[in-house]
Amino acid sequence: MKSQNEEKKYMPEISQKEINELRNSVKATSQRVIAENIERMKKTATNRPEEMQYFDEIANFVKREKEIRAAKENGKKVIGYMCLFAPTELILAADAIPVRVNSGWYDTSKLGDRIVPVEVCPVVRSTIGAKMIGLSPYLELSDALISVLTCDGMTKLGEILSDYKPVWSMSLPRVKDSDQSLRFWSEEIKAVKGQIEALTGNKITRKKLKSAIELTQKATKAFRRLQEIRKGSPVIMGRDAMLVNQTYMWDDIERWTEKTEALCDELEKRARQKIWACPPDTPRVMVTGTPMIWPDNWKLPTLIEEATPQGVLIADELCSSERILYDPVGVDEWSMDDMLNAIGERYLMASTCPCFTSEDGNEDRINWLLNKVKEWKINGVIYYVVRGCMLYAMEYTRVKKVLDRINVPVYYLDTEYTREDVGQMKTRVEAFLEMLTARIDI
Amino acid sequence: MITAGIDLGTQSVKAVILKDGSVVSHGQAFSGFDPAKAAEQAVGEALQKAKLSINNVDHVTATGSGMDMAPYSNSTISMMGADAKAGVYLFPKARTIIDVGAEEARAVKCDDKGIMVDFIVNERCAAGAGAFIEAMARALEVKLEDMGPLSLKAERASPINATCVIFGESDVVTLIHRQESKPEIARAVFDAMADRVSSMVHRLGIKPDVVLVGGVAKDVGFVASLKRKLGIDVLIPEHPEFAGALGAALIAVSRVKETQK
All domains in chain B, ordered by first residue: 1-91+239-261 (3.30.420.40), 93-236 (3.30.420.40)
CA pair distance A146, A191, nearest whole angstrom = 12
Provide the 8-state DSSP code for A328: P
- Residue B212's beta-bridge partner residues? B98
CA Rg value for chain B: 19
pLDDT over 60 (residue B73): yes
pLDDT attached to residue B132: 87
Half-sphere exposure of B188 (CA within 13 A, CB side): 24
In whole numbers, what is the pLDDT of chain B averaged over residues?
93
pLDDT attached to residue A7: 84
Q: What are the tens digits of pLDDT across the range A114-158?
A: 999 999 999 999 999 999 999 999 999 999 999 999 999 999 999
Contacts of A415 in chain B (CB under 8 A): 124
Indicate the helix (H) or strand (E) that contains A284. Answer: strand A284-289
pLDDT attached to residue B126: 67
Provide the 8-state DSSP code for A3: -
Q: Position B194: which residue type?
A: A
CA pair distance A173, A187, nearest whole angstrom = 12
- Residue A169's beta-bridge partner residues? A147
CA pair distance A70, A75, nearest whole angstrom = 9
Q: What are the tens digits of pLDDT across the range A301-345?
A: 999 999 999 999 999 999 999 999 999 999 999 999 999 999 999
Surface-to-core class of residue A428, CB atoms within 10 Å of its CB (0-12 exposed, 13-18 middle, 19+ buried):
buried
User: b or e along A311-325 (b: 16 or more beta carbons within 10 Å of the residue's beta carbon)?
Assistant: bbbbbbbbbbbbbbb
Counting other chains too, the contacts that A345-351 makes at CB distance below 8 Å and 24 or more residues apart are A345/A182, A347/A84, A347/A85, A347/A86, A347/A87, A347/A185, A347/A189, A348/A85, A348/A172, A348/A173, A348/A176, A348/A181, A348/A182, A348/A185, A349/A176, A349/A177, A349/A182, A350/A326, A351/A84, A351/A85, A351/A176, A351/A323
Sign, CA torsion A268/A270/A275/A276: negative
pLDDT over 70 (residue B254): yes
Residue A356 CA, chain-centre distance (Å), reads 18
Q: What are the tens digits of pLDDT across the range A100-114?
A: 999 999 999 999 999
Among B78, B116, B120, select the one facing A427 at the smallest CB separation.
Answer: B78
Average pLDDT over residues A7-24: 93
Q: What are the tens digits of pLDDT across the range B3-12?
A: 999 999 989 9
Contact B108, B84 (CB under 8 A): yes
For A29, B125, B238, the CA distances from B50, given in Å and listed in that order, are 52, 38, 19
Q: What are the tens digits of pLDDT across the range B151-178?
A: 999 988 877 766 666 777 788 888 889 8
Residue A236: CB atoms within 10 Å = 30
Contact B104, B10 (CB under 8 A): yes
Residue A310: helix, strand or coil by DSSP?
A: coil
Contact B246, B17 (CB under 8 A): no
CA pair distance A113, A417, nearest whole angstrom = 12
In whole numbers, what is the pLDDT of chain A averaged over residues?
95
pLDDT attached to residue B172: 83
Higher-pLDDT residue of A329 and A1 is A329
Contact B244, B83 (CB under 8 A): yes
pLDDT band at A441 (very low <50, low <70, confident <90, very high): low
CA pair distance A76, A98, nearest whole angstrom = 11
Note if the pTM is more than 0.80: yes
pLDDT over 80 (residue A419): yes
Does B115 contact A438 at a Cβ distance shorter than 8 Å? yes
Contacts of B116 in chain A (CB under 8 A): 431, 434-435, 438
- In 3D space, the residue among A121, A132, A192 whose CA is nearest the CA of residue A391 turns out to be A121
Count of CB contacts below 8 A, A vs B? 41
Q: What are the tens digits of pLDDT across the range A363-376?
A: 999 999 999 999 99
CA pair distance B47, B60, nearest whole angstrom = 12
pLDDT over 80 (residue A392): yes
B79, closest residue in chain A (CA to CA): A431
Does B81 contact A431 at a Cβ distance shorter than 8 Å? yes
Mention every residue, 6+ apart, whose C-beta is less than 8 A from residue A4.
Answer: none
Q: Is B124 on the interface with A (CB under 8 A)?
A: yes
Among B80, B118, B124, select the one facing A424 at the smallest CB separation.
Answer: B124
CA pair distance A381, A401, nearest whole angstrom = 13
Above pLDDT 70, what percent of chain B? 97
Q: What are the tens digits of pLDDT across the range B104-128?
A: 899 999 999 999 999 999 876 667 7
CA pair distance A393, A385, nearest whole angstrom = 6
Average pLDDT over residues A168-179: 94
Residue B65 phi/psi, 5° resolution? -60, -25
Indicate the helix (H) or strand (E) that contains A147. Answer: strand A144-149
pLDDT over 60 (residue A1): no
Q: What are the tens digits of pLDDT across the range B184-231?
A: 999 999 998 998 899 899 999 999 999 999 999 999 999 999 999 999
- In 3D space, the residue among B46, B75, B41 whose CA is nearest the CA of residue B60 turns out to be B75
Does B79 contact A409 at a Cβ distance shorter than 8 Å? no
Among A423, A424, A430, select the one facing B78 at the smallest CB separation.
Answer: A430
- Tell me how many degrees the CA angle B166-B168-B171 measures, rounded to the nearest 5: 115
Average pLDDT over residues B66-72: 94
Give the largest CA-CA distance in chain B.
Answer: 66
Does A431 contact B116 at a Cβ distance shorter than 8 Å? yes
**ipTM value:** 0.86
pLDDT attached to residue A4: 54
Beta strands per DSSP E along chain B: 2-8, 12-19, 22-30, 59-63, 75-76, 96-100, 105-110, 116-121, 210-213, 234-235
Above pLDDT 90, what percent of chain A? 93
Q: What is the dihedral of CA A117, A122, A128, A130, to 10 degrees?
A: 130
B209 preceded by cis ω (within 30°)? Answer: yes
pLDDT over 70 (residue A2): no
pLDDT attached to residue A391: 97
Does A412 contact B120 at a Cβ distance shorter than 8 Å? yes
Please provide the DSSP assignment of B19-30 as one string. Answer: ETTEEEEEEEEE
Does A431 contact B79 at a Cβ distance shorter than 8 Å? yes
